[in-house]
Structure formats: structure tokens, C-alpha cells
């Protein structure tokens, strides 16, 4: 997510995979979280005992924290870290329900919610743009029908505004007559995201599509909500049952479970590239022309977690491992490492060595929290009646 653009999503999303499957989004009616108390002091470790830290993380970082090399390097630095998966915008509520030393959501917005207005105790570690992942056959069909365009650097742009034009006209995949339509594309035109009331990547898909549906303006009031509603309801109602996390969504795509076109973090397929497991015959990566860069920001809830944040940002071995799991280092001095690793591996040209807004890609701001909550509840509602808590 662009570091100076997004000041507002927060508090919302995701089922906690291992401990909180019953949580639902109540932010629209309950208001923003109360300010978090100042972090209590962590007991110092003995000279031979590592500092034990427990934290909440997004599912996209689970493989990183459970990697033996990561655990070994953290141990060398005197840290023993245990993590639990949680949705980024659910972490503020979860942090109040149990003892955690840190929370590590996928965005600054979620970090703001966890901090409760306190600007201290957080550090952006790495980032990842959101991408559309599909199969080569689907990519070619989208190219043939003007929905995907090759860029000068060899990457592919997913033309989100043209995609929404097809959605708004009510076209089905069968109405696109150029090229060979893969059998997986059938029925109304849509792509699959995570649940926008439970997952940050789904909420960001909603933020981008509502921006376009509102005439290229951030939805900020009741008029904007009314303008965007028909489009976002089509986009999300068509999806049926949605995954709660980006990890589960990507795994479903890989398993061929009827999800041929998905919206997820670049880090998911990039990690496969870095591990030599990316199969160009099965997977293609497309960069939306209206996109978000998500800054994964660690929030220290106890004083000891600052040591973990500093290690993730400054330790060379850990930075290399972050890149290995598909993340782009946040610090400007380290941003070339992702590109360097791609070059060393002779990675597929689907991946952008450097990612930034340009003549093709724009990053609009996201709606304020209360409006985004309204949009998400509206998008998944089975009723056409106004959703409670929406701007009047």
C-alpha cells in the first residue's frame, strides 16, 4: 500500500484460522477501537534464555515465520517467536482478547487500528502489491479480448476498468468471442477475491473497484455508495462462498478448485519463484492497472517486540529470507534485493523487478474506514435495502 496514501481501512476482517473461527465484522456499528494502552515491559531473557514472543500475523506470512532458517536466525539473535494466523483488520480486537507481544498485519491501515491512534511502536518491514493470478490459457483469452495488455518491461497489465465495463454490461464469459475460451470460464464475468468483511486483500479489491465504479473518485459519502453499489454487488455476489484468507485462496487456485482468476498478494506466487517452484505452464501473474501496495507493518504490543521489528528490518540474513518468501523490503537501501534475486534466478518475466505507480498503474487512496465498512457489508448483502451504518 502506498505509504503516504491510505489513512483509513482498519479494524475489520478475517477469521482467525486456528483460534477464532466465530468472529464476525462488527466495526460498522461499534465504531473504532479504543486506544491501545502503552506496551507493558517484557521480562528480559536470561543470558542463556531466548526472549519468547507471541504474535498475530496474516496468513501470507505463516510460511516465513515457520521456516526453519527463519527460526534459526531469530534464535541466533536471541528470539523465540510463536505466531497465530489472523485477518489483518481483525487483529485489533484479537489483541485485546489474549496476550500477544506483537501484531503483524498486511497494511498500515490495520496497524493504525491496532495502535488505536498511538503513532509509536510500529515499523513497516516489507511490502507486496496485489495481483491477479490465473492460468496461461485464461491470460491469453483475456489478451485476445482486450482485458490484459503486455507492458514494455515484459509484465502483463490487467485492465481493471475494462474488466468492470464487461461486468456492468452483464456480459458472460461466453459473450467474449475472440480467441479460445478456456472451459473454466463460464457464466457471468467475475474474478475471485477473499471475503471483504474478513480479509484485507478482499477489502482492497473492493476499494479499487468502488473507486472505478464511482467515476474515478474515492467513495466518500452516500452518493458515492449509491453509485458504486450495483457494480460491487455484482462483483461479490457472483463469487459465492469466498475464502477467508489469501493463503487459502491461492491454495484453491493451485488445486484447480474452480477459481481460475483470483486477486491476491504478489508474495504468494513470488515465493514460488524464489523457491524454484513456479510453473509457467500453470500460472500467470497480472498487475492491475489500478492497484495497491500493501505495507506489512509490525506493531509492538510489548517492549520486547521492538527487538523483533528491528531484526526484521536490519538483519541481512532475515532480509534475504523475506525476499525468499516473495516480499519486497521496505527500506529503500534494500529494495533492490528483490530485483537482484529475480535476476539471479532468471525468473519468469511475469514479475516486475521494481514495482511503482507509473503511466499504466495508478494507486488511488482508499475510502475512510466507516465508508469501506459500509461498502463491504453492502457488497456481500443479499438484500438491495440500505445497509445499517452507511453514510446518509
pLDDT, one tens digit per residue, over 282-314 is 999 999 999 988 889 999 999 899 999 999 999
Please report which confidence band the pLDDT of residue 102 belongs to, taking 50, 70 and 90 as the band edges: very high
Q: Quick one: pLDDT band at residue 35, thresholds 50, 70, 90?
A: very low
The pLDDT, as a whole number, for residue 173 is 96
Residue 275 vs residue 120, higher pLDDT = 275
Mean of pLDDT values over 277-286: 93
Check if the beta carbon of residue 343 is closer than 8 Å to that of residue 186. Answer: no
* Domain residue ranges of the chain, discontinuous segments joined by +: 27-126+296-345, 130-292+364-380
Q: How far apart are CA 110 and CA 54, in angstroms?
A: 18
For the ranges 52-56, 98-102, 288-292, 355-359, the lowest mean pLDDT is seen at 355-359
Residue 26 in this model has a pLDDT that exceeds 50: no
Reading the block at residue 356, the C-alpha cell is: 511503482
The pLDDT of residue 243 is 85
* Confidence class for position 9, pLDDT limits 50, 70, 90: very low
Q: What is the pLDDT of residues 331-352, one digit of tens each?
A: 889 989 999 999 898 888 788 8
Q: Is the pLDDT of residue 28 over 70?
A: no
Q: Give the pLDDT of residue 88.
A: 83
User: What is the CB neighbour count within 10 angstroms for residue 285?
Assistant: 25
pLDDT band at 359 (very low <50, low <70, confident <90, very high): low
pLDDT value of residue 87: 81
Check residues 369 and 280 and name the one with the higher pLDDT. 280
Domain 27-126+296-345 matches domain 130-292+364-380 at the CATH topology level: yes
pLDDT at 2: 42
First-last CA distance in the chain: 29
What pLDDT, in 10s, does the model give residues 212-268?
999 999 999 999 999 999 999 999 988 888 888 888 899 999 998 888 999 999 999
Task: Give percent of the chain with pLDDT exceeding 90.
Answer: 54
Mean pLDDT value across the chain? 84
Which tops the pLDDT comparison, 21 or 92?
Answer: 92
In sequence order, the 6+-apart residues with CB closer than 8 A to the CB of 221 are 371, 391
The pLDDT > 70 percentage for the chain reads 85
Half-sphere exposure of 306 (CA within 13 A, CB side): 10
Q: Is the pLDDT of residue 16 over 50?
A: no
pLDDT tens digits, 115-160: 875 656 789 999 999 999 999 999 999 999 999 999 888 899 999 9
Exposed (0-12), middle (13-18) or buried (19+): which is 108, by Cβ within 10 Å? buried
- 17 pLDDT above the threshold of 70: no
Read off the pLDDT of residues 41-62 as tens digits, 9 standing for 90 and up. Answer: 455 555 568 999 999 999 899 9
Superfamily grouping for domain 27-126+296-345: Periplasmic binding protein-like II (3.40.190.10)
Task: State how far the Cα of 215 lies from the Cα of 219, in Å rounded to an integer.
Answer: 9
The reported pLDDT for the residue numbered 358 is 61
Are 8 and 372 a contacting pair, CB within 8 Å? yes
SS3 sequence, 139-185? HHHHHHCCCEEECCCCCEEECHHHHHHHHHCCCEHHHCCCCCCCCCC
Instruction: Find out if CATH 1.25.40 is the number for domain 130-292+364-380.
Output: no
Amino acid at each position: 500500500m502506498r505509504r503516504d496514501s491510505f489513512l483509513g481501512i482498519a479494524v475489520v476482517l478475517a477469521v482467525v484460522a486456528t483460534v477464532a473461527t466465530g468472529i464476525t465484522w462488527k466495526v460498522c456499528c461499534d465504531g473504532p477501537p479504543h486506544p491501545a494502552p502503552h506496551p507493558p515491559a517484557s521480562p528480559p531473557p536470561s543470558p542463556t534464555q531466548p526472549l519468547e514472543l507471541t504474535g498475530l500475523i496474516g496468513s501470507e506470512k505463516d510460511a516465513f515465520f515457520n521456516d526453519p532458517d527463519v527460526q534459526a536466525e531469530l534464535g541466533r539473535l536471541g528470539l523465540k517467536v510463536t505466531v497465530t494466523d489472523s485477518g489483518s483488520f481483525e487483529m485489533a480486537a484479537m489483541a485485546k482478547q489474549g496476550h500477544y507481544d506483537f501484531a503483524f498485519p498486511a497494511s498500515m491501515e490495520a496497524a493504525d487500528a491496532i495502535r488505536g491512534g498511538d503513532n509509536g511502536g510500529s515499523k513497516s518491514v516489507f511490502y507486496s502489491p496485489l495481483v491477479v493470478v490465473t492460468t496461461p490459457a485464461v491470460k491469453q483469452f483475456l489478451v485476445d479480448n482486450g482485458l490484459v495488455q503486455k507492458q514494455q518491461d515484459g509484465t502483463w497489465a490487467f485492465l481493471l476498468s475494462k474488466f468492470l465495463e464487461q461486468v456492468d454490461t452483464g456480459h458472460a464469459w461466453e459473450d467474449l468471442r475472440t480467441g479460445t475460451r478456456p472451459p473454466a470460464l463460464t457464466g457471468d464475468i467475475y474474478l475471485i477475491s477473499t471475503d471483504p468483511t474478513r480479509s484485507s486483500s478482499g477489502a482492497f479489491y473492493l476499494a479499487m473497484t468502488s473507486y472505478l465504479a464511482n467515476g474515478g473518485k474515492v467513495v466518500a459519502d452516500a452518493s458515492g455508495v449509491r453509485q458504486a453499489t450495483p457494480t460491487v454487488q455484482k462483483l461479490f455476489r457472483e463469487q459465492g462462498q469466498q475464502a477467508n484468507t489469501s493463503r487459502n485462496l491461492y491454495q484453491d487456485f493451485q488445486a484447480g478448485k474452480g477459481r481460475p482468476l483470483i486477486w491476491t498478494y504478489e508474495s504468494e506466487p513470488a515465493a514460488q519463484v524464489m523457491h524454484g517452484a513456479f510453473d509457467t505452464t500453470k500460472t500467470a501473474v497480472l498487475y492491475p492497472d489500478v492497484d495497491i501496495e500493501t505495507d506489512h507493518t509490525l506493531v509492538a504490543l510489548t517492549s520486547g517486540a521492538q527487538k523483533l521489528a528491528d531484526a526484521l528490518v536490519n538483519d541481512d540474513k532475515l532480509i534475504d529470507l523475506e525476499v525468499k518468501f516473495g516480499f519486497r523490503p521496505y527500506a529503500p537501501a534494500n529494495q533492490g534485493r528483490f530485483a537482484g534475486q529475480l535476476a539471479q534466478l532468471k525468473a519468469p518475466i511475469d514479475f516486475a523487478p521494481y514495482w511503482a505507480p507509473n503511466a499504466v498503474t495508478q494507486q488511488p487512496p482508499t475510502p475512510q474506514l466507516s465508508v469501506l465498512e459500509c461498502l463491504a457489508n453492502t457488497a456481500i448483502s443479499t438484500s438491495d435495502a440500505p445497509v445499517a451504518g452507511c453514510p446518509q
